Structure 1
Amino acid sequence: MSSNQKSEIVRTKSGPIYSEPETLCSSPAHISDSSSQLNVPTVVESPDNKIRVQHERLFLHDLLNSVGGLHGFLELMSENPDPVKIQKYIASSLELCDSLIEEIQSYRQITLAENGDLKVFKNDVNSLELLKSVTMKLENHDVSKGKTIDVSPNSQPVPVQTDKVLLSRILINLMKNALEATDVGGSVTIGSKMCDSKNKGQSGHRMGSGAGCDCKGSHVSGDCYPVDFIRFWVHNDSEISEDSKPYIFKKQFSTKGENRGLGSYSVQLLGEQYLGGKVGFVSNKEEGTTFFIDLPVRIPDEKN
């Protein structure tokens, strides 16, 4: 592979290669005898390759969960003649199919984005309608059970020119992360606010800073926008630990256990590199956590 090729995702003409770490890199104990006889060099797993494997394992984990659930509902339908129950199983199966499609599309987008092959399509988007659409998609999701999702009443229908599919993906990932961090009986709020350059730089770590327009004191890469922009934000009542904050947007970092969690990483990848935005968050014990993405009202031309 040449030095200018990216190594995080292994691809062929037929698509990505899915494999467990053992199949990609055998341990020396497994290959020492055969390698000495066949002069096969020992393969050393690089950090980039390790991260790629974690990414693939996460994708397969979620995919198999959805397929397993779908198989279970199909079995129930084949064993139960009750038409009422069959209709219920069909509805649940359709939801799982939607989840499968969502997982596959998400993985494909991240893979294309990492390779620099993702295309951006400009759409005229109504910010309030988008918030409602994202909320509806997650209301019946497993991660939302026993929890409340609210659209902030202060959100206004701001016209934005951006890639609707990518922005939806970003907001869905932020919402899923917030819902996973929320206990049963809790709530997650999503909203948007039109901001101008005069409104940024107010106070720092409080819920108002995430839902408002200022960046001071927040975890955001680079400077805030010097021009008018729109902020989309997602809030929940839990706090991110100080030890975790510097690593939130790292691909290899997860608060959900081994090989879990690419939501924040993909939010920054898609939001900053492809939509020309700024992604950040504020978090404290008193008022919880607010993630946000600041976007120019028109998508940068160089990402056509």
Structure 2
Amino acid sequence: MGNGHSAQDEYLLEAILTNQEAEVSNILTKDSTRVNAPLLNGMTNPICRAAYLGKRNMVALILKHQGDINLKCGGKGNTPLMWSAWRNNVKMVQFLVSQGADIEATNNEGLNALDVAIVRVSYATALFLKKQGLSPKPAEFYEDKLQVKFDVELFIEKLENEEQVHSFNIFYKKIEREEQEWLSKDLVIDPRETWKKWLTRNMNFEEPPMVPREDIPEDNQPHTTFYGKMTCYLNGINPYPPGHKNNPAKTNDTVDALDKSKVKEPDQELGRNREENKEDDLAIEDIK
């Protein structure tokens, strides 16, 4: 682990995880330097781990042993308060603030605890921190930092008004509606994508750029060029518009006879999954 305490560090982490307060106290009493020492090559430390796990008594014990309440850890450099906001643990956030945690501290990405709460759709935590004096940034600031897609503007609007929210579902309705509207369009791969971008995208296993057919000029429709047809076929998409002689039923399996020898069989799975990957600990619960 690089800090000379590998076995001891694992034991300390296990003691924190299993709420062995007496054992943790004994370890820190014997060697006070370990209270703020990094663990797992700096990925965590005693107080960050205890706060992340929501173990308030353990956090209190570590503070009693002169633990630094604003000690950062992890690649993002989150403080215990930020980790608690990340987990939407309002009680832990309240406790840390009551013990003097710096609510204005920022991590390596320039985010404070309120920003972290917003990114994680942790409304209850965000509301508490807002009432402590922090202010949310414009919605645009968070767009590229979201863990899952949601209506950031509505979230911030309700936060600014300090409204109580009883269900997080309201933050997803707009996104779901926009997604349905998008999928209802006649989507094709943008034939304006350059060969260089196409090559880079495929090397990185990235999704193809989809656009509504209606947004593409008539003389650049994907079914009018070999490149346009090829990129569509390779992703299991019919390049021909509905009603075209080569696509009378708007199916995905019509292959122009001229291109059968040039185009590989379409991969029916590639690029078809538009679902967001949500972490297990992001399950949204109603706020009572």
Q: What range is the shorter-chain TM-score in? A: under 0.3
With the length of structure 2 as denominator, give the TM-score of the two structures: 0.20
Look at both structures and tell me which one has the larger radius of gyration over its CA atoms.
2
When you count strand as a share of all residues, which structure comes out higher? 1
TM-score normalized by the length of structure 1 = 0.19
Bigger RCO (CA 8 Å, 6+ sep): 1
